[in-house]
Amino acid sequence: MLHNNFLLPVRVYYQDTDAGGVVYHSTHLNFMERARYEWLRELGFDVHSLVEVHKMLFMVRSLEIEYFKPAVLDDLLHVTVEVTKMGRSRITIAQEIYCSHVKLVSATIHVVCVGSETFKPVSIPAPLREKIGKLE
């Protein structure tokens, strides 16, 4: 069912929910960002090395998100990361959040590679581009 490049399990804690035990809509974005960071780490590129070695970082340029069903306190969620398109400095990522194989949230995230000092678009580093390219 989950045919994606990366999957991160995330448990819903009390801090993630409202008084009714439902996950806040914005918290899903936090779960997705955490999954993208862990995906990069699995590829061998932690955030510190991107800044220190490659002098770049990724910033979200835009996103589109749809909520289908709520996540609730103590759910075990699975957050996916799948690259759908890669340009010179931009990556389009499809992300979904599942609970027990039921899709709760779907999003398309556009991230841009920017210089860590200028915050202007730069090319995705060749080693990272190569690793991502192997996933397509």
Of the residues 18, 46, 74, 75, only one is catalytic, namely 18
How remote is the C-alpha of 9 from its chain's centroid? 13
Question: How does strand 102-115 pair with strand 6-11?
Answer: unpaired
| Active-site residue, 18 included | yes
Tell me the backbone φ, ψ of residue 22, rounded to 5 degrees. -100, 135
Distance between CA atoms of residues 107 and 96, nearest Å = 6
Q: Name the DSSP letter for residue 79.
A: E
**Backbone φ, ψ for residue 12 (5° rounding):** -85, 120
> Is the CB of residue 34 less than 8 Å from the CB of residue 10?
yes
Q: Which residues are catalytic?
A: 18
